[in-house]
Amino acid sequence: MTLSEEDLRLVGLWAADCAERVLPLFEAKAPTDTRPREAIEGIRAFARGGKRTARLRSLALAALAAAREVGDPVATAAARAAGLAASAAYMHPLETLDQAKHGLGPAVYGARAREFATADDPGVGDEEIRWAIEHASPAVREVVRRYPVRGPGRSRLDSLYYQLDAGLRL
């Protein structure tokens, strides 16, 4: 399998769109913590033609650190979406489900953030996944098809990954 820099840019742009939808949920709990916003800005700069730098990797890791530190499940999921969005620039052309998570994770954690924000209402998460599927470009769908098909798993997170993966393959 191969992944071009253009593939990574297109996935990164879509991932940023998915993560940005739930960024206000993080910022409502931690208004002075800019790490998730900076991660989204970083992946957008890469998607517009910027370079994959150590700074972008640091922004991704910082957003994931914010997720660990915030102490609120809604904000944690939203910050993870941002961190994974920035890490989409570093997806490897390895046919593993772990690599696919970099691209799919922003939409999945965005859906989970919305669920947590509404007392764990799965309908809200399903709606977020539908939005992500509808807003994925043909190029993003093609990248997802290069990775192995996901199974349904056992957890709600697994179910969201499965739903997104299946929808992007149509």
- 159 contact partners, CB below 8 Å, separation of at least 6: 152, 153
Please state the pTM of the whole predicted model. Answer: 0.97
Angle between helices 35-47 and 73-87 (to 10 degrees): 30
Q: What amino acid occupies position 169?
A: R
**How do the pLDDT tens digits run along the chain, 170 residues long?**
899 999 999 999 999 999 999 999 999 999 999 999 999 999 999 999 999 999 999 999 999 999 999 999 999 999 999 999 999 999 999 999 999 998 999 999 999 999 999 999 999 999 999 999 999 999 999 999 999 999 999 999 999 999 999 999 99
Burial string for 55-65 (b: 16+ CB within 10 Å, else e) reads: ebeebbebbbe
Going 149 to 106 to 83 to 159, the CA torsion angle's sign is negative
For the chain, the first-to-last Cα distance in angstroms comes to: 20
29 close to 57: Cβ distance less than 8 angstroms: no
Enumerate the domain spans of the chain: 5-168
- Asked if residue 78 lies in contact with residue 22, where contact means CB atoms within 8 angstroms, the answer is yes
Q: What is the pLDDT of residue 32?
A: 98
What is the per-residue pLDDT for 1?
A: 87
Structural contact between residues 13 and 50, judged by C-beta atoms closer than 8 angstroms: no
Q: Are 96 and 128 in contact (CB under 8 A)?
A: no
